[in-house]
Amino acid sequence: MVIPLMKQAADGPGADEQATLRCGAVWADGAACAVEARRALHAFLAHVPCTGRTPVPAPLAIDAELVVSEMVTNAIRHAPGPCGMILQLSGDGLAITVWDTSTEQPVVRKRDGQRFGGHGMHVVHAVSSEVSVASLGHGKQITARLRPAPDDDHGATVTAVPAA
């Protein structure tokens, strides 16, 4: 079960493109799933144009979906208890933060075509401009920052990505 927080800032037509738009979701112990996380992302991206902002470029939205899937899946597999996700859109791009109850730091493994699984953090690092990990007293949070490519300003945009 997802418990949506849906607290938005600068949430009106004509909002300042530099102000940060935020959304979050928290999942109870054992209730998180990557599908629900992607749905929360899709709803957030669909809401962006309603605030008077430019829609998120399609390549950035696709990368964001991949990052959300990988990071939430890692939280499910490697951390007992609840977890959550915070999405923040600002003039700098999109920040995706996932927190969980594990104090173990994520491991970025080398690519290995012979290994099944274990590539998630490598993928997150590959599509993100920056990835940071912060220890919390009761776990950790990982933040991946995605920025649109310079040529994405005039390309295709997405207001919603079909749910998987």
CATH number at residue 131: 3.30.565.10
Could you tell me what percent of the chain has a pLDDT over 90? 52
Looking at per-residue pLDDT, the higher value among 21 and 162 belongs to: 21
Per the CB < 8 A criterion, the answer to whether 55 and 21 are in contact is no
- The verdict on residue 157 lying in a domain is no
Q: Per-residue pLDDT tens for 113-162?
A: 665 555 578 889 899 999 999 999 889 999 999 998 876 544 444 444 44
What is the pLDDT, as a whole number, of residue 92? Answer: 86
- The verdict on residue 138 lying in a domain is yes
- The verdict on residue 162 lying in a domain is no
Looking at per-residue pLDDT, the higher value among 68 and 17 belongs to: 68
Question: Domain range holding 23?
Answer: 2-152
What is the pLDDT, as a whole number, of residue 15? Answer: 47
- The verdict on residue 164 lying in a domain is no
Query: Using CA atoms, how far apart are residues 134 and 132, in angstroms rounded to an integer?
Result: 7
- For the entire predicted model, the pTM comes to 0.80
- The verdict on residue 54 lying in a domain is yes
CA dihedral 67, 71, 73, 75 (to 10 degrees): -170
Count of structural domains, the chain? 1
Query: Using CA atoms, how far apart are residues 130 and 134, in angstroms rounded to an integer?
Result: 13
- The verdict on residue 50 lying in a domain is yes
- The verdict on residue 158 lying in a domain is no
Neighbouring residues of 86: CB distance < 8 A, sequence distance ≥ 6: 22, 23, 24, 95, 96, 97, 99
Q: Per-residue pLDDT tens for 75-84?
A: 988 888 899 9
- The verdict on residue 123 lying in a domain is yes
